[in-house]
Amino acid sequence: MDSIWKRLLRLLLTMLIVSLAVFSFISFSSGDSSSSVLSEDASEEAVEAYRKAMGLDEPFAVRYLSFLSSFFSGNWGVASDGQDISFLVLSRIPATLSITILALLMSLAIALSLAFLSLRRHTIGRALTTAWAAVMMSSPVFLIAIALVLLLSFQLDLFPVAGYVPLSGGFVRSIRSVFLPSLSLALLHSSLIMLMMRAAVESNLSASYSMVARAFGKGFSRIAAIDASKPALPLLAILSGQSAAAFIGGSAAVETLFAIPGIGSLLVTAALRRDAALAGTLVMLIALSVSCISMAAEAVSALLDPRRER
């Protein structure tokens, strides 16, 4: 494994390249933020004044470098609509964090319980869970989300239809407001985790040491639960890391549908409005958190399996 400094250097380089890529993609995409902020019939004068105020008339290199320097100095500047970028971004983090954590817990709960319940081959239960996994993996997340809203929110009135309540508005109310979006994401991701964990546990089950344990008289479910799953825990750590990383930047669809103010939908808005500075800031933060999560997942994975080569 690389030393910690090498990894940090790679992280920094990755962040720089991502921000350069996103900043240039957005800057060189057709259109700019004046069309979203100003009226459609705005005067030429007003458009030029806006472009000048936003610095859109400066050469690309100047804009990118000033973006980098303001990012690393902590003073993140102003978004295309005049709002403070740091305020915008920080205000969106709690919702994204709530969804990420809740979705991850739900994914693990669903995936692991279904994986263990369906270990026996050639039973109806197994066929059902495999079919369920196939359906989940073939559905776009907004489809799952709409089905959940119709069922759990509208028919059964268990959860609000949309909107985000921050923790300050009450813990229970807050959880209820992010329950359906998290569940939509969890149903999607848990299918993959379930399939992979089940395959891993099964391959361990048929390994020789399991046979030895069975020879010693331990029942089938105890073996499965304890012995066969321990070697699969590192894999679980990695899969959890990957899912958490996907939730952080990739939940734009559920956020838009459920009207949750998270990072994903802010990124989509920034891209559609051609706000390069806001998008660049967001991707750097997302890349940073994804890398941290991956590193944490790998560390946990290594800890859980002493056989792994360092």
Partner 1 sequence: MRRRVAGLAMMILLLVFSVSFGGLGVVDTSLRLTPPSGTMPFGTDTLGRSLLERVAAGTGTSLFIGGIVAIASFALGILLALCCFIPGFPRRVAFIFADAVKAVPSIVLALFSASLSGPGILSLAVSLSLAHIADIFRTSYSRASAIMKEPYIDAARCAGVGRMRIFITHVLPPLLPYAAMQSVSSFLSAVIGEATLSFLGCGVPVPIPSLGSILSEARSVILSSPWMMFFPASFLLLLGIAINLIAFSLSDPDPASERT
Partner 2 sequence: MRNKVLTAVLAAMVAAILLVSCGGDEDSGLLRVAVAQEPVSLDVMITSSVSGRNIAVGNVYERLFEMDGDTIRPVLATGYELSSSGCDLRIGIRSGVSFHDGTLLDPEDAAASLNRWLRSYKGASSITGDASFSVEGDGIVISSTSSLAMLPVMLASSPQAAVIYPGEAIASAADGMPVVDAPGTGPYRVEEWISGSSILLSAFDGYWGDKPSIDRISYEFVPDPVIRRLGLESGQYDFIDNVLSDDIPALEKVPGIELHQGDENGSIVLVFNKKEGISTDVFFRRAVSLLIDREELMRACYGSYGYSVRSAYMDGKDGIWSVNPDLDPYGMENREEGLALLQDSYDGTTVRILSSNLTDLDRIAVALSSELEQCGINTELIILDWASFMEQRGNPSSWDIYVSATGSVPLPLEKGYLFSDSPGGFDDPSSSSIIRALSTSESMEEAASLWQIAQIRLWEYVPVIVPGHYSTVYASRSISGIDLSDGFHFRDAVML
Contact residues for partner 1 (CB under 8 A)?
10, 13-14, 17-18, 21-22, 25-26, 28-31, 133-135, 137-143, 146, 199, 202-203, 206-207, 249-250, 252-253, 256, 267-268, 271-272, 279, 283, 286-287, 290
Burial class (CB in 10 A: 0-12, 13-18, 19+), 29: exposed
Q: Which does 128 bind (CB under 5 to 8 A by kind): partner 2, partner 1, none?
A: none
Q: Which does 54 bind (CB under 5 to 8 A by kind): partner 2, partner 1, none?
A: partner 2
Q: Which does 39 bind (CB under 5 to 8 A by kind): partner 1, partner 2, none?
A: partner 2
Sign of CA dihedral 51, 54, 58, 63: negative
DSSP 65-120: HHHHHHHHTT---B-TTS-BHHHHHHHHHHHHHHHHHHHHHHHHHHHHHHHHHT-S
In the bound state with partner 1, the residue whose beta carbon lies nearer, of 83 and 203, is 203
Interacting residues of 184 by C-beta distance below 8 A, sequence separation 6+: 141, 144, 145, 148, 254
Residue 90 token pair: 């920080």
Q: In the chain, how many H helices and how many E strands?
A: 14, 0
Interface residues with partner 2 (CB under 8 A)? 29-33, 35-46, 48-54, 78, 81-83, 88, 91-92, 146, 149-150, 153-154, 157-158, 160-164, 170, 172-173, 175-176, 179, 221, 255-262, 265-266, 269, 272-274
Q: Which does 206 bind (CB under 5 to 8 A by kind): partner 2, partner 1, none?
A: partner 1
In the bound state with partner 1, the residue whose beta carbon lies nearer, of 20 and 38, is 20
Q: Which does 13 bind (CB under 5 to 8 A by kind): partner 1, partner 2, none?
A: partner 1
Residue 87 token pair: 């305020």
For residue 244, give the nearest of 289, 194, 282, 199 by alpha carbon: 289
Q: Which does 268 bind (CB under 5 to 8 A by kind): partner 2, partner 1, none?
A: partner 1
In the bound state with partner 2, the residue whose beta carbon lies nearer, of 78 and 115, is 78
For residue 102, give the nearest of 266, 256, 251 by alpha carbon: 251
Distance CA 308, CA 310 (A): 6
In the bound state with partner 1, the residue whose beta carbon lies nearer, of 31 and 170, is 31
